[in-house]
Structure 1
Amino acid sequence: MFQSCSKESSGDYGFEVFSKKMNIFGITILATEETSNDKMIHAATILAEYLDNDENGIPDNAKVVDDLIKHKATLVMFKSYGSMKYKKFFHSSKWPDGQTTDKRAVQDLYDDETHPNGAADGIFDASLEEVLHLITFGGYSNAYPEIFGTKRGTAVSKAVDIARGGYFDTIPDEYPQNGWYSYDDETCEYGCQIHEYLYWAITSILGAQDFPGRLDDIEHEWRLNTHEKVKNTDKAFYDIYTNPEYKLPTVLPDGKYKGKIPNIASYLQK
């Protein structure tokens, strides 16, 4: 099942913590030895389903995939948050704003938060979030900067400002009562707020946030947890979402991709 391959570029300091690799439509997934193969394959499948939502073996939006490849989009998987290899990687690579020293777009995901079919047990599968983050900040925000860009004035930023009840460059002491998105992580600046919003809005439309007990868990941060709520309340984003040019996913990934998922390969340093 394992094939030998070497690191693509010099300057990837910290990447020696990874031992396993997969490639989905040119996008890299790296994992530590402690990350289970099943969880890694599941994440790869979720990535494939998001990008090839009709599962015909061809990415739905070639422009987005081209930008993901151009920005060396990489999903990095660890056993758990704060593990020794996690600390070594993020200390060594010194990545600001989702970028490593060689300008990769990087998103982390953890084995212990990845739950295939988790909604059936009342548990959210974080791969649905973190994989989508990689796609939006590595792909959509670069492919369509006037629409999905993370600066004030883009189409999605205007939708965010409506959803939060106004424009806030930093986290306010209290959000206005007329909003439905109130993310309160002090480390999440305006661009980060946009990507968190995209995750909430898209996955709510797809049905990922609609299972027993979920709204109770998330309503302090996001209150439109179903397709109908987003459609009827967040009209600014729904207009973006339904624009056929962007080919955003319309079916929630279920971890059962009909196309071919490549084998896990060995990841070796040069």
Structure 2
Amino acid sequence: MGSPKKEIANPYLKPDFRPMNFEQYKAEFPNLAGLDCGIDDFFDTYINVFGVTVAAMPNTPVPEVIHAAKIYAKLMDNDEDFTPDDPRIFDYHQQDLEGRNHLIVLVDTKAMDNAWIAFRPGQRFWVPAQALRPGHSGVGHSRDGEMDIAVEELFHKYGKAFQRVYPKDFGLPDYEAHDTWSSTLSNAMDQARGIDRTVRPINGKWTYPENAWYTYDDTSCGWGCQIDEYFWHIWATNIGYYEMLTRPPGTPKENSELRGWCNNLHSEWKPCSKQDLKLMDSKAYLLINNKDYQLPTRIPFGEYGGNRVTYHGYEISVDLKNGLRFMVNRGFAPKLSLKRGNTYFLDQSLEGNSGFPLRFSSSANGVHQGGEEYLEGVVINGIPGNRGSYVRITVAETAPDQLYLYCPEQKGMATDNFLMIED
């Protein structure tokens, strides 16, 4: 039995992606489970997405938190009509009275990560929660062709819900508990690997037949873990995400190549396109495209809702090779539209921003060409080049129809970067 039609009494308003501190969050969502275990000892920024808590540790760049929240919103509500696509998946997130099913955490340092894992209430939350570590959340990376680990990690969270809600087709039999039943997904994976759950690594290595197309070599990832990874692979391949990516995370753009991510994965996963999946893994293809289920079909770039939602985040970087220029989400001259009343965080955490503060002006090149710095609704946090630093603007009703970016320390860094202001 697939997912029901989209009829849901949503107790949560459409997400606006407002980052809140703990006191604000509890006041806004007083009945939300899982907030009384001591979570506030570890996390200081919270965003709610259809009842799912996205919690971030101190110094996590706010745009990364917003980015993660928007990815999950897109997974829950792929058509962006502000109602979750599958009521049963939505309900699953709400059912656990401890809040374990609706927690996504962004960690900042290994020490804090270890402290959270060791924290006794944290241990109860850890497995159902999904963690994003520094470098996992890539604002604007997918659009630039770079693999965004946040998309994978957050799909794992979403996939867990699917496995629990629809066990016959997507379920995860517990091999360690001696489960003998199989799901459609686990049967498809056994065929893709060419071996079943009874096979163990030999001499510290998985051994696969030559005709296998899913050959994950991490021996710490047992049969159940392999199903999680397989579900991600078939979904990302089916929606065209793998095929569009030109390189692995952290790889310079000059090293991009057509199907670069697929080439990187080839020793683990052979299909690259939806057509490849159809020809090579027909069982998975039929399952993932079963219209009875409402799996997301559009890539979650982290852009959910556009200017219909209130809070937004962008990554600012500096091109140090071609004349010192600001880039917004990897682009040199993006024509961004900002809406009056909305709030935008421009993250200057990347080291290349050091010494190059970003500012706004109603004139091109700002003070370098006789203009003035625009200050209304602007908040500056931290020092450029340090993790967590940003410039924030809440666009005033009286804002001009166009604003320009500039750097007061260096002329010409954003000559072509202007922001259109809309009502």
CA distance in 1, matches of 2:25, 2:143: 37
CA distance in 1, matches of 2:192, 2:115: 37
Residue 185 of structure 1, aligned match among 200, 205, 218: 218
CA distance in 2, matches of 1:252, 1:171: 34
CA distance in 1, matches of 2:118, 2:50: 29
| Counterpart AA for 1:55 | E
More displaced 10-residue stretch of structure 1: 8-17 or 159-168: 8-17
Structure 1 position 32, deviation (Å) = 0.5
Q: Which residue of 2 aligns with 1:74?
A: 103
More displaced 10-residue stretch of structure 1: 248-257 or 70-79: 70-79
Corresponding residue SS for 1:236: helix
Structure 1 position 171, deviation (Å) = 4.1
The 8 Å contact of residues 192 and 212 in structure 2, kept in 1 or not, is answered as yes
CA distance in 2, matches of 1:121, 1:11: 40
Corresponding residue SS for 1:28: strand
Equivalence map 1:15-164=2 (5 Å): 16-71=41-96, 72-79=101-108, 83-93=110-120, 100-101=123-124, 105-137=128-160, 139-151=161-173, 152-164=181-193
Q: Determine which structure has greater relative contact order: mean sequence separation of CA pairs < 8 Å that are 6+ residues apart, divided by chain length.
A: 1
More displaced 10-residue stretch of structure 1: 202-211 or 157-166: 202-211
Q: Deviations over 1:110-160 (max 9, x none)?
A: 2412213324544210111011000111x1111111111111511100011
Q: TM-score, normalised by structure 1?
A: 0.86
Q: Is 1:165 paired with 2:194?
A: yes
The 8 Å contact of residues 171 and 184 in structure 1, kept in 2 or not, is answered as no
CA distance in 1, matches of 2:106, 2:154: 11
Q: TM-score, normalised by structure 2?
A: 0.56
The 8 Å contact of residues 163 and 181 in structure 1, kept in 2 or not, is answered as yes
Structure 1 position 209, deviation (Å) = 1.2
CA distance in 1, matches of 2:221, 2:94: 25
Q: Is 1:205 paired with 2:238?
A: yes
* Total equivalences in the alignment: 257
More displaced 10-residue stretch of structure 1: 144-153 or 47-56: 144-153
Corresponding residue SS for 2:130: strand
The 8 Å contact of residues 194 and 208 in structure 2, kept in 1 or not, is answered as yes
Give the 3 Å change call, closer, same or farther, for CA 44–103 of structure 1 in structure 2: closer
Question: % of aligned pairs identical?
Answer: 27
Q: Which residue of 2 aligns with 1:247?
A: 294
| Counterpart AA for 1:12 | C
Structure 1 position 263, deviation (Å) = 5.8
| Counterpart AA for 1:166 | I
Q: Deviations over 1:181-216 (max 9, x none)?
A: 111222222221111111111011112212332122
More displaced 10-residue stretch of structure 1: 245-254 or 108-117: 108-117
CA distance in 1, matches of 2:34, 2:305: 32
Give the 3 Å change call, closer, same or farther, for CA 104–193 of structure 1 in structure 2: closer
| Counterpart AA for 1:115 | G
CA distance in 2, matches of 1:103, 1:111: 17
CA distance in 2, matches of 1:38, 1:189: 34
Please say which structure displays the higher CA radius of gyration: 2
CA distance in 1, matches of 2:76, 2:275: 24
Give the 3 Å change call, closer, same or farther, for CA 176–76 of structure 1 in structure 2: same
Give the 3 Å change call, closer, same or farther, for CA 120–51 of structure 1 in structure 2: closer
Structure 1 position 46, deviation (Å) = 0.6
CA distance in 1, matches of 2:223, 2:120: 23
Q: Which residue of 1 aligns with 2:350?
A: none
The 8 Å contact of residues 76 and 85 in structure 2, kept in 1 or not, is answered as yes
Unaligned runs of 5+ in 2: 1-17, 27-31, 174-180, 247-259, 313-423
CA distance in 1, matches of 2:153, 2:263: 21
Q: CA RMSD in A?
A: 2.4
Higher normalized strand content (fraction of residues): 2
